[in-house]
Structure 1
């Protein structure tokens, strides 16, 4: 009996050690990881940088940064200044800083650039990065436009939970644009489609016209002396989202196309961090 009791006691100890080891193996603590120039297509511009936080899991959310440049230029490095700000203030979030194919005479911006964003998101969802399918956008200028347009009109699986537009165009049917021959020429160079007679097409490219009652919470940051983005672009988007019952915050700073004073830039960053914390 004593031998049997001793054997049973030893068996319990060995079993508990085995279970403990198995549990330790199953609980993998992931470290911080940076993946640069991850390819998501055959074009050299179809790459993104991915910053994965330590201790991430299947609930980790991802912020997608979309650079500006008038749809024809720019690079993901233009958004790199935001990465340390996000890491310091939102350490639990993953960050995807993306490039997309730039428009040219032979490669129109639409739907090419929306297709690129779709492909990036699909890759993030299907690759084993140990993140969730919850994404938020921070886009600047043309990147702000693309972020809103994707979120409002092309997010068929409701993966986008938040979008921040920094001086992004919202409405291509705005008379401030359509009465300007230079902008109409720009429209054609980006799409190959004349505005006159195709107004509904330009509505389909406008977040103002494609927003719905289910659009995600939106942060709008604009300048009151922007030579490229009329004040109406941010103000009218704010009014439209209010009419749809979509939570949004609109902030108008003194200055031009994002070149605001240091206090205003700091205020914009703080508003962005607080918005992400509360809405995403």
Structure 2
């Protein structure tokens, strides 16, 4: 996880300074002025303390302004939207006409399983954004960038829980895709086993398929871009290569990058390559 944090801290290529307060003076009754930049932190979308998101809206936006949703990692049981601030900052710099929603979701613990709870949270966020389109002055076209567990959730929601086909692109950075992969089912690694056990110590094959993007993807899936590390101790390489093959079989637009010597995150030239590819993919498909 340290590598992922390093990824998120170093992805900002230059130092940026942005206010943490609302820059618009409009009231909720009036709606927002689309000619002005607006941000709001910790918007509640449910009663739980983790059901909050940050929203960043570009100036000069309209009802065609696309929305990028950022989904943090942390093994479904940890992490915070602050971990994705590096992505938020670089998007604001390089893809400045896109609205950004950086989300928290309820974390799994001994009493709460990640599924369907976290998928339900994403659905609530999407519904909130749709219901408040006029207020925010945004479109109902969405993209996802997820890291690790957040990438799994991004893929799963985009493939199986988007009946309106509102998701126009999805990015997985080191995200699990297939819980029926023998590399997972037969593992003796205690760290991987602990992650798998969040989905049930005796989960059926049918259930594991239900929570696997690999098994839920269809030919109508949105364009997908995948990044994986060849030496990732938590995400077997087959999680990426099998997903790539499945997308190829279905004819889904996709890109795939495997950094052979990288682990669960990367820095330097590989990091620059990730953002370069993701930026172009976002500008093309979102």
Match in the other structure for 1:154: 161
Cα pair 2:170 2:224 within 8 Å, conserved: yes
In structure 1, how many angstroms separate the alpha carbons of the residues matched to 2:165 and 2:84?
25
Residues 74-153 of structure 1 mapped to structure 2, 5 A cutoff: 74-127=79-132, 128-153=135-160
- Deviation of 1:230 after TM superposition, in Å, equals 0.6
Larger Rg: 1
1:207 aligns with 2:213: yes
1:247 to 228, 249, 253: 253
- Deviation of 1:84 after TM superposition, in Å, equals 1.7
Q: What is the TM-score of this pair, normalised by structure 2? A: 0.85
1:186 aligns with 2:202: no
Q: What is the TM-score of this pair, normalised by structure 1? A: 0.87
* Residue-by-residue CA offset, 1:8-50 (whole Å, 9 max, x unaligned): xxxxxxxxxxxxxxxxxxxx65200011000000000000000
In structure 1, how many angstroms separate the alpha carbons of the residues matched to 2:270 and 2:199?
35
- SS class of match (2:70): strand
Residues 34-45 of structure 1 mapped to structure 2, 5 A cutoff: 34-45=39-50
Cα pair 1:187 1:194 within 8 Å, conserved: no
More RCO (CA 8 Å, sep 6+) = 2
- Deviation of 1:192 after TM superposition, in Å, equals 3.5
Q: Structure 1 228/184 Cα, relative in aligned 2: closer, same or farther at 3 Å?
A: closer
* Residue-by-residue CA offset, 1:54-104 (whole Å, 9 max, x unaligned): 011100000000000000000000000111210111110000000000000
Match in the other structure for 2:24: none
Across the aligned residues of Structure 1 and Structure 2, the Cα RMSD in angstroms comes to: 1.1
- Deviation of 1:170 after TM superposition, in Å, equals 0.4
Number of positions where the alignment pairs a residue of Structure 1 with one of Structure 2: 249
Match in the other structure for 1:170: 177
Match in the other structure for 1:52: 57
Cα pair 1:218 1:247 within 8 Å, conserved: yes
The ranges of structure 1 where at least 4 consecutive aligned residues each deviate by more than 6 angstroms after the TM superposition are: none
